[in-house]
Structure 1
Amino acid sequence: MTLTEKTALITGATAGIGKETALLFAAAGADVIVSGRDIARGAATVDAITRAGGKARFVAADLTDLDSLRALADAAGAVDVLVNNAGAQPLSPTVSQDVDGFDTAVAVNLRAPYFLTAAIAPKMIARGSGAIVNISSMTATVAMPGFSVYSATKAALESLTRTWAAEFGPAGVRVNAVSPGSTRTETVLTAVAEVLGESGEQQLAQLSLLGRMAEPREIAEVILFLASERSSYLTGAVIAADAGRTAA
Structure 2
Amino acid sequence: MSSSYVLRGRTALVTGATSGIGRAIARNLAGQGAAVVLHGRDQGRGEALVKELAAEGAKARFIAADLSDAEDTLRLAAEAGAVDVLVNNAGLYELASTPATDAASFDRHIAVNTRAPFLLVGALAPAMAERGHGSIVLVGSSSTRMPAPIGAAYGASKAGAEILTRYWATEFGPSGVRVNAVSPGPVHTEGTRAMLGEHIAVLDSVNARGRAGDPAEIAEIVSFLAGPASSYVNGAVLFADGGERGALPT
Secondary structure of 1:93's counterpart equals coil
Query: How many Å separate the matches in 2 of 1:43 and 1:144?
Result: 37
Q: Is the 8 A contact 1:130 1:173 kept in 2?
A: yes
Secondary structure of 1:14's counterpart equals coil
Aligned to 1:179: 183
Paired residue type of 1:53 = G
Paired residue type of 2:105 = G
Query: How many Å separate the matches in 2 of 1:213 and 1:18?
Result: 17
Match of 1:91 among 89, 92, 95: 95
Query: How many Å separate the matches in 1 of 2:206 and 2:68?
Result: 33
Q: Is the 8 A contact 2:187 2:203 kept in 1?
A: no
Question: Are residues 1:139 and 2:143 paired?
Answer: yes
TM-score of the superposed pair, with normalisation by structure 1: 0.95
Match of 1:167 among 171, 177, 187: 171
Query: How many Å separate the matches in 1 of 2:172 and 2:103?
Result: 34
Query: How many Å separate the matches in 2 of 1:233 and 1:176?
Result: 11
Secondary structure of 1:213's counterpart equals coil
Percent of residue pairs identical: 49
Query: How many Å separate the matches in 1 of 2:136 and 2:245?
Result: 23
Q: Is the 8 A contact 1:9 1:82 kept in 2?
A: yes
Query: How many Å separate the matches in 2 of 1:164 and 1:41?
Result: 32
Match of 2:38 among 34, 38, 43: 34
Deviation at 1:190, TM superposition (A): 2.0
Deviation by residue 1:110-160 (Cα, 9 ceiling, x = unmatched): 000001110000100101110000010011110122111111111111101
Aligned to 2:132: 128
TM-score of the superposed pair, with normalisation by structure 2: 0.94
Secondary structure of 2:168's counterpart equals helix
Aligned to 1:44: 48
Match of 2:152 among 148, 153, 164: 148
- Aligned CA RMSD, in angstroms, stands at 1.3
> CA 1:80–1:192 in 2, change beyond 3 Å: closer, same or farther?
same
Deviation by residue 1:62-82 (Cα, 9 ceiling, x = unmatched): 111111111111111110000
Question: Are residues 1:67 and 2:105 paired?
Answer: no
> CA 1:70–1:247 in 2, change beyond 3 Å: closer, same or farther?
farther
